[in-house]
Structure 1
Amino acid sequence: MRSFVVTGGGRGVGRAVVERLLLGGDAVVAVELDARALTWIEAAGGKAVAVRGDACLEEVAERAAHLAEEIAPLAGWVNNAALFRDASLDTDDAATILDLITSNLAAAVTGCAVAVKHFLAAGSGGAIVNVSSHQAQRPVRGALPYATAKAAIEGLTKAAAVDHGPAGIRVNAVALGSIETERYQQFLAGRNAAEVAVVNAQMAELHPLGRIGLAGEVADAVAYLLSDTASFVTGAVLPVDGGRAVRGPDPEEN
């Protein structure tokens, strides 16, 4: 049995990753800021452990790492925690924008740093998966802090892979398209049936596969990158986006 740490593991994509890893027989420590999102982990018991706290803080990440190692050797770390808040250069001050960028980037940097140190101390290597977005390459208007942070996370992924590959540490990322999560459902909840139909049609158009993704599909991709099956994969950014990143507007479309 192995152990893993998943930040932002209480809901959405993070929860799906935790559930996927538990299904494979491994132990998982889920880090989550919102206590309400941890109740299902606490109820699950067994090889699922909840840590409430901010994934940006090194002491929180260290606690998660130690708890994981108490159960089984630490084999992987998933940096999923993120903050969603739009801001713009013309309406917000620079300090606010920098704070938003840092909030998203810091959790990934902290998780990578703690994971690498624990992998090196154990001497057995390990795998890190950072959760990015199609917005790292093709930003959506109004999401400048989020898109900037995700682009930086992809740079972090590649640099860490180069630095720590000789120690057997693999670092990869998944770049997500639109995924059906609680947040997406809340986005739809305030709209009438006609408006929901329009949004669904727009999402289908944006993704060449004609739909948004499922959290479980992301979890499967993350589990692959954490597994020995991906033992020669590092420094990669794997699109899990239904083709959204390669979908460009057709100039012949009406």
Structure 2
Amino acid sequence: MKSFVVTGAGKGIGRAIATRLAADESHQVLAVDIDAALLAWTKSDPSARIMPFVGNISDDAVAVAAAEAAARMAPLAGWVNNAAIFEDLSVHSADTRRIMAAIDTNLRSAVAGCRAAVRAFLAAGTAGAIVNMSSHQGRQAVPGGLPYVCAKTAIEGLTRALAVDYGREGIRVNAVAPGTVSTQRYEDLLAAIGPSRAARLEAEMAEVHPLGRVARAEEVVAAVEFLLSDAASFITGAVLPVDGGRTILAHEPTA
């Protein structure tokens, strides 16, 4: 048996990752989210291999407690840092303190998660895998995305640094960088803006992704699952784009 921690697991990609990992009968999954209501779905999960864990993962004490809770389920084998928020701020309209707070919200949770996972692997004397969720915005800025772009770029640097520092301990650290993904949030946005604007948005998304569409959540999840698995045993320090070629095309909407 193996256990995995998935942060930001209340909805979207995080929930999809937790569900996919728990589909393996040899896996136990700790689904972490700051919002208890968002974890209600775990109670009805048919696998019965997902345990909810409520807390702010950017807090070191919470992250360590999550690692310990997962280890009680089964030896900890993998950790996915998925928790994130997007806040539209600019230097002409927000002060430095607010901008840095927005950057910190996303970066701190990844650092705390990595710290807890690495320390748990070292204490147990076992190998392990960490996957940090980045974004196409880690390579390619989007208008209005300053804090998110900064945080995701830093998370990719964190990924490379940890891969170098702990590779000889058998700890692999990689990142996955999606483009736009058809999550419930994306579908809710399409519904909220009305049919004509939704059609324009979908056409624009098709244009910026060379594959002509946004990703399905399961396509991103498959990449995460692969990087956590033994099939990726000689891959570390990598940032895997799952963006339909968006960063290669490098054509972003203006709004």
TM-score (norm 1): 0.96
Unaligned runs of 5+ in 1: 250-254
Q: Percent identity?
A: 53
1:13-64 per-residue CA deviation (whole Å, 9 max, x = no partner) reads: 0001001101122100011012221001133373211011111111221221
Check if 1:32 corresponds to 2:33: yes
- 2:200 paired residue number: 198
The alpha-carbon deviation at position 241 of structure 1 amounts to: 0.6
1:68-217 to 2 correspondences below 5 Å: 68-217=70-219
Q: Tell me which amino acid in the other structure corresponds to 1:94.
A: T
- 1:23 paired residue number: 23
Rounded to whole Å, the distance in 2 between the matches of 1:248 and 1:223 is 27
- 1:241 paired residue number: 243
The alpha-carbon deviation at position 101 of structure 1 amounts to: 0.2
Structure 2 counterpart SS, 1:190: helix
- 2:43 paired residue number: 42
1:178-217 per-residue CA deviation (whole Å, 9 max, x = no partner) reads: 0011221222122221111100000000101100001111
Structure 2 counterpart SS, 1:189: helix
Aligned residues: 249
Rounded to whole Å, the distance in 2 between the matches of 1:120 and 1:99 is 31
Structure 1 runs of 4+ aligned residues shifted over 6 Å read none
Rounded to whole Å, the distance in 1 between the matches of 2:138 and 2:74 is 34
1:74-115 per-residue CA deviation (whole Å, 9 max, x = no partner) reads: 000000000111100000000000000000000000000000
Q: Tell me which amino acid in the other structure corresponds to 1:248.
A: A
**Preserved CA contact (<8 Å) 2:5 2:66:** yes
- 2:59 paired residue number: 57
- CA-atom RMSD, angstroms? 1.0
1:105-140 per-residue CA deviation (whole Å, 9 max, x = no partner) reads: 000000000000000011111000000001011110
Unaligned runs of 5+ in 2: none
Rounded to whole Å, the distance in 1 between the matches of 2:152 and 2:250 is 20
The alpha-carbon deviation at position 164 of structure 1 amounts to: 0.3
Deviates more, 1:46-55 or 1:36-45: 36-45
**Preserved CA contact (<8 Å) 2:107 2:151:** yes
TM-score (norm 2): 0.95
**Preserved CA contact (<8 Å) 2:29 2:50:** yes
**Preserved CA contact (<8 Å) 2:140 2:250:** no
- 1:252 paired residue number: none
Structure 2 counterpart SS, 1:62: helix
Q: Tell me which amino acid in the other structure corresponds to 2:83.
A: A
Q: Tell me which amino acid in the other structure corresponds to 1:3.
A: S
Deviates more, 1:40-49 or 1:160-169: 40-49
